[in-house]
Amino acid sequence: MPLRSTVGFLHGLLYKPYGFWVLSPVLIILEILCGFIIIDKVPYTEIDWVAYMQQVSGFINGTLDYDKLEGQTGPCVSRGGMKNYFCIFDPERDSKLDPAAVLYPMFVCNFVGIVISRSLHYQFYVWYFHTIPYLLWCVRRFSTPVKLLILGLIEISWNTYPSTILSSGLLNLCHLALLVGLIMELVPIRLASLHVKKEVVNNSVSTPSKSQPRKKASKKSWTGGKHKQA
């Protein structure tokens, strides 16, 4: 009886409709595990993988001439959508984006939402208190004492209970000062322009001509509201 039931179960997995829903996830998981093991343990496969990533890096940097897309195993042989597929696995895919280009618009949008709110409850302070120092130090027009003063006044305003006309007016005044400072600073335009320049530089030096030596390109990045020359 146990043998017959086992045979019946295996027959059902292979020939019955429910077997598809049981075996498919198992086979997919096994294939993924085997793929990782093979890439890690079989040297030739690892070499191919490194070559694919090298070719993808050139493709991402803007090299569209397939004769110039080469890896350690030779020229690129996969065309069309294959490069778009392997771009998903590029280890440097997310490393080229400046964190400030992500944090700044998120923090500013959140701050603007607080500023234009019809009414503010005390728990709203937790929505943006951790972003205020970052935003203040993005405004280079403010000196450090002014930044610390605004930070302290905002803290005092939120810790005044119950709220008064003075505390509410002080909070709105600090919000307005920071908002005007952010508008006059025009950091998003600089960030966008630096990002575009960085991409252009990367594209121009990704595939240097054999007859011309590679030149060092100067890059600028935005960190904490100050420009640094690399």
CA-CA distance, 106 to 85, in Å (whole number)?
A: 30
Residue 20 domain-assigned (yes or no): yes
Query: What are the start-end ranges of the H helices in 79-225?
Result: 81-86, 99-115, 132-138, 144-158, 165-185, 187-206
Domain end among 54, 89, 124: 89
Last residue of a domain, one of 89, 110, 126: 89
Q: Is residue 69 part of a domain?
A: yes
Q: How far apart are the first and last CA of the chain?
A: 76
**Are both 111 and 68 inside the same structural domain?**
no
SS (H, E, C) 21-43: HHHHHHHHHHHHHHHHHHHHHCH
Reply yes or no on whether the pLDDT at 37 is more than 50.
yes
- Same domain (yes/no): 146, 182: yes
* 120 and 182 housed in the same domain: yes
Task: Examine residue 230 and state whether it is found in any structural domain, yes or no.
Answer: no
Mean model confidence pLDDT for the chain: 73
Domain of residue 139, residue span: 99-188
Whole-number Cα distances in Å, 98 to 49, 107, 132, 183, 195: 27, 15, 20, 21, 8
Residue 193 is assigned to a structural domain of this protein: no
Helix (H), strand (E) at residue 220: strand 220-223
Same domain? For 69 and 134 the reply is no
Q: How many domains does the chain have?
A: 2
| Least confident range of 22-36, 57-71, 92-106, 194-208 | 194-208
3-class secondary structure, 226: strand
Question: Above 50 in pLDDT, residue 223?
Answer: no
Does any domain span residue 131?
Answer: yes
For residue 228, list its beta bridge partners: 221
Q: Does residue 23 sit in the same domain as residue 75?
A: yes
Distance CA 216, CA 204 (A): 11
Round to whole Å and give the CA distance between 199 and 193: 10
Position 221 in a domain = no
Per-residue pLDDT tens for 129-143? 899 999 998 888 889
pTM assigned to the model:
0.44
Helical pair 17-41 and 2-15, crossing angle rounded to 10 deg: 80
* One domain, residues 84 and 160: no
Query: For residue 194, is it within any domain?
Result: no
Q: Nearest-CA neighbor of 26 among 13, 43, 39?
A: 13
181 in the same domain as 103? yes
User: Is the domain of 124 the same as that of 63?
Assistant: no
Same domain, 76 and 142: no
Closest C-alpha among 217, 190, 187, 213 to residue 202: 217
User: Same structural domain for residues 54 and 77?
Assistant: yes
125 within a domain of the structure (yes/no): yes
Same domain as 84, residue 106 = no
Q: State the pLDDT confidence band at 31, using cuts at 50, 70 and 90.
A: very high
Same domain, 74 and 117: no
Output DSSP code: residue 92.
Answer: T
Distance CA 84, CA 80 (A): 8
Question: How large a percentage of the chain has pLDDT more than 90?
Answer: 18
Main-chain dihedrals φ then ψ at residue 65, nearest 5 degrees: -85, 110
pLDDT of residue 154: 92
How open is the CA angle 134-165-158, to the nearest 5 degrees? 35
